[in-house]
Structure 1
């Protein structure tokens, strides 16, 4: 007697965006982690980008939400539905044979929160759910030799959290995290325009400002953009202008907390591994690794080499797939310029 083995999936279940790597197919899904529901019928009406486009634009009766907050499930039913959507989109035939899924989770989650993610995966159709700490997945997907005895260091800067870890012999030796991350900065930008300019802006506008004007180096960039919102005094639509200098003043007061996370991780690292980190430096992954000037800022602050991973936003999902698709990592590593740093 024999059993039919289902395909394996690697899932980067992110606060803002999620990705799926399917065994035998490669990267099959990249979607916003957003769900839209009809509150009258309790039916899901949209997932991913389609749901994300509804944010801030829905009539009464339509509820749009992120099923995860800071990497943790905030609504179990929505998370289960979203995971089922990801798996079905990754391979429409997976419902016939339940797949084994490897899912990334933040290191700061509790045992109860880990169990909730496992249960959501099983309820969504997985035959088995394996959880991997996000820094370990990110480091693996960034080609760091995490299984060797020498120390490696990664700073994973996502939407819901920023996690720093030193790794050796296939595990995390030292780690720290903070909620100062992509979504946090969006909220700070929204708060600034509300308090300083009496202008109410939405999540998407704040994210656009962060991406287009965000920078960690003062005086290097001089760009402007229009900001659309609602005037809090008149209630009317209003357009104002902002620039890189203003956004720099919003972001930089909080970058110190990310530096503190890195320093705290280094302070709890065994001395045998500290020299490895000094020699090999730290690698950046996640969407916030694209913030202009962040590499130079961190190098100046912590005095160790810093480089940005190839495809930083996909490192976690590649790491989740490393066990069943190691040839993909090998092929990417052997591609021309695959290890060059990109700002």
Structure 2
């Protein structure tokens, strides 16, 4: 058997695996559940995610990736091994070649940690590619022409903004504000305003069902349950889209500013192209209600949400894998 080519979207919130010729074969949360004393891995992925906020004292559910980079090396390695085994990535004869996506501003040390984790998980060759570039390719943008293309990739841990031309990044910015921060903003807002403690799962449900960031973008309401900070007892409150818009305003303003900063550094000719072509939103954060309208108003350029924005990076790895042998400049380990 020949070695397989595998693309991995190593996300803070989710890991997606693309196998050449098969498409996206895995999409699971980047969560590992451990037994505290022994460090034994109890569960990985979806099973571990269900345990977040619901485990007894001797078990902890954690995310080994933070802000798009490895926070816990051993657990990242264990998670990658588990997922690669689950999708039957290793052949009987040879190890797979792996393409991994990372944020634009990670350090060489952080990059080496990703490479090492992939190698220890059973890879023969490791290739590194920048996330916004892969997301743009996965969204169907033709970035290999001498024209400007702009992508805003809002993931779980980071938001990557980039202008691309001739197959490479011209200007880019990466900030550590994205989907996970939105959840924390919602949790903190409800804690301060209603003196109610809620968990990450509840915050994520609020974000998906009622949240908006555009004025008048959505008018929904939801009943949520949590623990009253004063009485210590379970309590139900009613929360609206307008309140969540207020909760998310500061974080979203940072994303708008990052996009504006990238546009300000973009050469004039490429800026003119972006006015014609617009900005493409990718990543799970692109599904946040009103984010496209807000960016269009603030940047004064058309803004569109990619088809299947959460799968753009994984799809992009698939397209790059088809041309992996041409990417000698990106080969990190032989």
TM-score, reference length from structure 2? 0.93
Give the number of aligned pairs.
Answer: 323
Partner of 2:230: 233
SS in 2 for 1:204: helix
Does the Cα contact within 8 Å between 1:88 and 1:94 map onto a contact in 2?
no
* C-alpha RMSD of the superposition: 1.4
Partner of 1:299: 296
Does the Cα contact within 8 Å between 1:102 and 1:321 map onto a contact in 2?
no
Partner of 1:157: 154
Residue 41 of structure 1, CA deviation? 2.7
Residues 39 and 197 of structure 1, relative CA distance in 2, 3 Å threshold: same
Residue 217 of structure 1, CA deviation? 2.2
1:108 to 100, 105, 109: 105
Instruction: Give the 5 Å matches for 1:55-74.
Output: 55-74=52-71
Residue 219 of structure 1, CA deviation? 2.9
Residue 93 of structure 1, CA deviation? 4.3
Does the Cα contact within 8 Å between 2:90 and 2:122 map onto a contact in 1?
no
The answer on 1:8 being equivalent to 2:22 is no
Partner of 2:116: 119
1:274 to 266, 271, 276: 271
The answer on 1:313 being equivalent to 2:310 is yes
Point out which structure has higher relative CO (alpha carbons under 8 A, 6+ apart).
2
Partner of 1:331: none
CA distance in 1 between partners of 2:225 and 2:6 (Å): 40
1:186 to 183, 186, 189: 183
Unaligned runs of 5+ in 2: 324-334
Partner of 1:263: 260
SS in 1 for 2:321: coil
The answer on 1:289 being equivalent to 2:286 is yes
CA distance in 2 between partners of 1:5 and 1:295 (Å): 43
Partner of 1:130: 127
Unaligned runs of 5+ in 1: 327-343
1:167 to 164, 168, 182: 164
CA distance in 2 between partners of 1:14 and 1:149 (Å): 30
The answer on 1:82 being equivalent to 2:64 is no
Residue 60 of structure 1, CA deviation? 1.7
Residue 89 of structure 1, CA deviation? 1.7
